[in-house]
Amino acid sequence: MVKLRKVVPRGVSDIFVKAEYLNPSGSLKDRIALEMIRDAEARGDLKPGYTIIEASTGNTGTALSFVGTQLGYKVEIYMPEGMTPERIRIMESYGAKVHQVKLEGSIEGSVAGAEVEIDTRVKCLEVERSTPRTWWARQFSNPSNTKAHTKTGREILEQLDGKVDAFVASIGVGGTLYGVAKALRERLPDALIVGAEPASAQYPLSEGYTRVPGTGDDVCGGIIEEMLNSGMVDRVEKVGNREAIAMSDRLVREEGLFCGISSGANVHLAVEVARQLGPGRNVVTVLPDHRDRYLSEKKYTT
């Protein structure tokens, strides 16, 4: 946990960031990869000789590639075309096979993972149904995702001696925000929980969407729908690509934190929340991933 000192204006709440980009494969998704795999093994859903598959814009795919291959599994990731090439190379370096799925239209500006992953989830569903000895992680609806980040939330409480007034995080499939919110609300029912989403989202959560219209439970809904229906999230705010990039650059240059663009989005919104709450409060967020996956292109991706 790091207290930000240079990118935070005077007269606002203190902002603390959990440096999740320092996890072994470079993102907070290492937590859910291990949790999902171990829980699936315990249930008997994942066995030696199986292949792990997942739809991912990058970080979960990388984490599953790292954890899965270390535990002796083959890993295949289905990824939307248009993601940065670094992500593919990192996954392949761990030994995973990466399938790029062509999407209708191009990806411009910031990327809402819950939207662009739909086609890749459909591919995973097809593979799961047609290929024996295959386990689809289903991060978007897997309760082990939220479970992993409930532990993250308890760590935050321990690190700050329970003094947390607000938590802010980007929403990809919702596991981080929902899991941490569950932990905070157990002890701090009045803590403010704020989600961030890309300003270019086609179906914004901030406007009441809980899934991409026309999609079924096999490929959509899941954690996001449960989270938004739970009442635990106070609001969801849009963050633009430009704002996310600008803050991530400042975090690298002024704070020495070599984190990615989603970290910039989180801190940008955390500063806004800190302004609203005023001095004497603690606002917490996470730095989800490492800068190394944004070197060829800067884009806010959830």
- Cα 203 to Cα 11, 39, 59, 68, 269: the distances in Å are 35, 32, 22, 32, 20
pLDDT attached to residue 107: 47
- Tokens linked to 85: 């090439």
Show which residues are catalytic. 29, 262
With b for 16 or more beta-carbon neighbours within 10 A and e for fewer, the 117-151 pattern comes to bbbbbbbbbebeeeeeebbbbbbbbbbbbbbbbbe
Return the domain boundaries, the chain: 2-23+149-294, 29-136
- Tokens linked to 218: 């096999």
Given the structure tokens 């029912």, which residue do they identify?
A: 189
Spatial contact of 27 and 61, defined as CB atoms under 8 Å apart: no
pLDDT attached to residue 221: 72
The pLDDT tens digits of the residues spanning 50-61 come to: 999 999 988 999
> Considering the domain 2-23+149-294, what is its CATH architecture?
3-Layer(aba) Sandwich (3.40)
The DSSP bridge pattern shows strands 2-3 and 14-18 to be antiparallel
pLDDT attached to residue 83: 82
In this structure, how many other beta carbons lie within 10 angstroms of the beta carbon of residue 246?
Answer: 15
Sheet holding 282-286, edge to edge: 2-3, 14-18, 282-286, 166-170, 192-198, 235-239
Task: Give the residue among 81, 18, 26, 49 at the shortest CA–CA distance from 260.
Answer: 26
Task: Answer yes or no: same fold for 2-23+149-294 and 29-136.
Answer: yes
In which residue ranges of the chain is pLDDT below 70? Answer: 104-116, 211, 213-214, 216, 218
pLDDT attached to residue 293: 87
Query: Which class is domain 29-136?
Result: alpha beta
Cβ-based burial of 93 (10 A; exposed 0-12, middle 13-18, buried ≥19) = exposed
